[in-house]
Amino acid sequence: MGTTRSTRTDHRYAGRSRTYGNRRLDRALRGGGDLGALMAGGHAVVVVDRRYGWRLAGAGVRATFRACRRLSWRYRTQLAPLLILAAMWVIGTAAHSATHPVPTVLLLGAVVGGVLWRAVRRRLDRPAERRYALACGAAAYGWLLAAAAYGTGRPMPALLWLGGCALAMPWWWHHRIRGVPATGTRLEEMWAERVAAAGRALPGSSLLDVRGVRNGVTATIALPPGERSTEHAVTATPLITSAFEKPIGSVLIEQTPDGIASRARLLVLERNPLHAVQPWTGPSLDRATGVAPVGVYADGGTALFRFWTPESGASHTLVAGTTGSGKSRFLDEVLAEATRSGLIVPWLIDPQHGQSLPRWIDHVDWAALGTERGMRALVAAQRIMHARSRYLARVEWTDDRGRTMRGRPGFDPTPEMPLLLIVLEEAHELLKLAKAVTIVEAIGKMGRKTGIGVVLVTQLPSVAELGGSMTIRSMLTSGNVVVFRTADRVTSNMAFSGALPVDPSALPREFPGGQPSSGLGYLLGPSARTVPMRAYYVEDPYHWASTAPQLPLDELSIQAAGGNYARRHEAEPDMDDAEDAPPPAHAPAPAPGSRPGGTAADAVLAALADAGETARAALITATGYSPRAVTDALAALTESGRIVKTGHGRYALAPPGDPDTTAA
């Protein structure tokens, strides 16, 4: 037995107590005194250090406090109803002491209730959740009114605690503490054997804080610092899924909320809620932030989509995915949110004549169907952009300090000047034209500050599908990127500029039960998680399209858009049909060197508008004019600046200059 040296030391035995100093303690041990005899006889001796007694007591109190704080934070969700009831007791007591108790509660209850409802409404996805929230709010409001009028004496405490606990039962059941499922009891053992061992997917890693959740088991992956990062864990998801012998999509790995690079969050699902269709319950765009929920993650989190950024401007969007992946249904949701917002005017451009979104053709401000009409809409949008830019650069407004300012650096949509949202379906078809690429690039650079957003929809999020323009891809990836299942392998740099290390081509075509996986994809936007989300499904898009209120463009934009916008609803033939139509019965004979469609220069401009950058030989064939007539027309148009020479014998329409110039 070792000895303990201290300034004052007690030993207690047989109900008696004696005090020893350092020297007396040493002598007692050496001389075999009372203490030595007790020790030699095998008696237990308790040595207490008085000098550190208070320190030990303080350490115990601090440890108890830390444990209580840790447990209360861990179970904060379960404790929330009790805290609310306690707060109601305090508020009711204070309100009864007020000069005018009932009017005070009426006013404060209406204000606080409205603020809370606005804050939580977006998170209540199901009608049952909203009804439960309204019932709890009404009960709390009624008790506070009664407490303000009659005080908090009997029987008010019983009504508060018994009624409050009864109303909290659904909350406690929904957020009950679940144990680790039977299938997850060996999670750490399986991880150590199949994932963390040498030569496996993540050697040297371990699992922390393993616990059961609603649909499975969650844990924190601890990676070897300096050897592995969160990205390594995310890219190893298929191997880890194989290690747990789970179907694809049942193991989700992403970064932790604190963003530590040597950690990752693991979720092993016993039942994947994304296998079921996620119904869209109605518009829920937050007009203060420009953000709307558009889908759900497997852990119940909400996938968010941004229409605009406050005090900045419109957000551009790229939507990609193969046939049947859910692009059109996602656009139904975007258009439904836009038309119900009261702040957004949507235009629909579809080179395939509206086949992708037929229910919206007659219910948006402008449905430009076909290549030629799509070009007219893009030209009109560019003219609106320049007109708004000139106006916003000089407009006077008053800031929050009451100062008169001139010029706005950003854009916030209002009913008087709404956001113009251009949905460009099958964008790869229209972006084959050099002029379309030029206009979309210009809108990408300037449209944000003038309230013009572009939603480009294509099969594959590659530069080739975007007209070969790195500018377009850069502008899109800075906003929302929604990629559903793709037919070909997509690198993270191609789709998300490296922000999400995922491959959308690995998403399943069907779930294990045979259900289609339409709407399953990845979202980079306000919510940028590396796990799949499933977009909400709009069950009846025609209802939302046909009953949507028609918000008009502002007068400035209407004037800038010009005659093409004024004639947008007229049933006029497309350019190709007009060229094939027979001439009038009594048409005069064409002059030498011209055609019924106009001069050679007109024919060259029309051919370039259709095909984009074109060689001289192809223009001769397309226009039907002689080589000399086409050559002279090219020279005249180049000199006037209406076209540019892009290479040896190749020409394209000149980039738009003055926005007031009428498009050819």
Per-residue pLDDT tens for 137-163? 888 888 888 888 787 778 888 888 888
190 & 136 share domain: no
Cβ within 8 Å of residue 585, ≥6 positions away: none
The rounded mean pLDDT for the chain is: 80
391 & 438 share domain: yes
346 & 427 share domain: yes
388 & 486 share domain: yes
Residue the block writes with tokens 């109900």:
15
8-state DSSP, 209: E
Please report whether residue 284 resides in a domain.
Answer: no
User: Percent of the chain beyond pLDDT 90?
Assistant: 29
237 & 149 share domain: no
Beta carbons within 10 angstroms of residue 552's beta carbon: 11
Say how far apart CA 316 and CA 437 lie, in whole Å: 15
Query: Given the DSSP bridges, would you call strands 452-458 and 419-424 parallel, antiparallel or unpaired?
Result: parallel
Phi, psi (degrees; rounded to nearest 5) at 370: 100, 165
Is 534 within 8 Å of 484 (Cβ atoms)? no
Please report whether residue 336 resides in a domain.
Answer: yes
Lowest mean pLDDT among 175-179, 236-240, 418-422, 623-627: 175-179
Mean pLDDT, residues 45-53: 51
- Distance of CA 620 to CAs 231, 519, 590, 635, Å? 55, 47, 19, 14
Cβ within 8 Å of residue 242, ≥6 positions away: none
Say how far apart CA 423 and CA 457 lie, in whole Å: 8
Lowest mean pLDDT among 188-202, 315-329, 477-491: 477-491
The secondary structure of 515-528, three-state, reads: CECCCEEEEECCCC
Quickly state the pLDDT bin for 178 (edges 50, 70, 90): low
212 & 251 share domain: yes
Residue where one domain finishes, among candidates 174, 207, 233: 174
63 & 197 share domain: no
409 & 315 share domain: yes
163 & 194 share domain: no
Predicted TM-score (pTM) of the model is 0.61
Is 47 within 8 Å of 9 (Cβ atoms)? yes
Residue where one domain finishes, among candidates 142, 158, 174: 174
Question: Could you tell me where the beta strands, DSSP code E, fall in 384-517?
Answer: 396-398, 404-406, 419-424, 452-458, 480-484
N-to-C CA span, the chain: 102
Judged by DSSP in three states, 121 sits in helix
314 & 425 share domain: yes
Please report whether residue 227 resides in a domain.
Answer: yes
What's the confidence (pLDDT) of residue 441? 92
Mean pLDDT, residues 433-443: 92
Residue where one domain finishes, among candidates 124, 146, 174: 174
Please report whether residue 279 resides in a domain.
Answer: no
* Burial track 20-34 (b if 16+ CB lie within 10 A, e otherwise): beeeebeebeeeeee
What's the confidence (pLDDT) of residue 652? 87
Please report whether residue 55 resides in a domain.
Answer: yes
Mean pLDDT, residues 644-659: 74
Q: Report helix angle 470-477 to 434-446, nearest 10.
A: 40
Per-residue pLDDT tens for 346-364? 999 998 887 788 899 989 9
Identify which of 290, 304, 244, 292 has the alpha carbon closest to the alpha carbon of residue 269.
244
What's the confidence (pLDDT) of residue 659? 38
The token duo for 340 is 């119900």
Residue 311 CA neighbour count, 13 Å, CB half: 1
- Distance of CA 463 to CAs 296, 415, 445, Å? 29, 36, 17
- Distance of CA 144 to CAs 82, 101, 105, 245, 395, Å? 16, 10, 7, 54, 49
What's the confidence (pLDDT) of residue 125? 55
8-state DSSP, 582: P
Q: How many residues appear in the chain? A: 664
Whether cis (ω within 30° of 0) applies to the bond prior to 225 is: no
Per-residue pLDDT tens for 542-574? 999 999 888 999 999 999 998 889 888 876 544
Per-residue pLDDT tens for 205-257? 999 888 877 778 889 999 999 999 998 998 899 899 999 888 878 899 998 88
Please report whether residue 214 resides in a domain.
Answer: yes
Q: Is the pLDDT of residue 641 over 50?
A: yes
Please report whether residue 298 resides in a domain.
Answer: no
What's the confidence (pLDDT) of residue 423? 95
Q: How many domains does the chain have?
A: 5
- CATH number, domain containing residue 467: 3.40.50.300
Q: Which domain holds residue 218?
A: 182-265
605 & 558 share domain: no
Identify which of 407, 403, 360, 345 has the alpha carbon closest to the alpha carbon of residue 554.
345
Please report whether residue 578 resides in a domain.
Answer: no
What's the confidence (pLDDT) of residue 123? 59
- CATH number, domain containing residue 639: 1.10.10.10
132 & 225 share domain: no
